[in-house]
Amino acid sequence: QVHLVESGGGLVQAGGSLRLSCLPSGVVFSITEMAWYREAPGKQRELVASITSDGTAGYVDSVRGRFTISREYREDTMSLQMNSLRPEDTAVYYCYAKTIMVSRVDDYWGQGTQVTVSS
């Protein structure tokens, strides 16, 4: 079992920056891939950025060049640095982790953190 806790959301003006953090606990050694998803009102949850255990990162086109995902292995945390924020980035952001133990694959989600970007 893995428990994920996000922090760092808030209200910011367009053009500003925020840094989200995700702190996993539990069987963290089983975590392979981690990611950030977001869900805006009336829209489906979408993948924003992902990072594998070897540090390979991927981004949705709308955030590439503005957001940076990273994993700090010593502190066992994952972060999302969000720069040049736009009103359309407003959403609840969720931390996600995939674990693999033997042949079992599980998905875990955090509780979400609200990001609001004012114009």
Q: Which amino acid is at 82?
A: M
Which range among 6-10, 74-78, 93-97, 113-117 shows the weakest confidence by mean pLDDT?
74-78
Residue range 31-58, pLDDT digits in tens: 899 999 999 999 999 999 999 988 999 9
Mean pLDDT (the chain) is 94
* pLDDT for 27: 83
Residue range 72-99, pLDDT digits in tens: 877 678 999 999 999 999 999 999 999 9
Q: How far is CA 51 from CA 15, 30, 47, 72, 87, in A?
A: 25, 15, 11, 11, 25
Coil, helix or strand at residue 48 = strand
Residue that is written with structure tokens 């540090």 in the block: 55
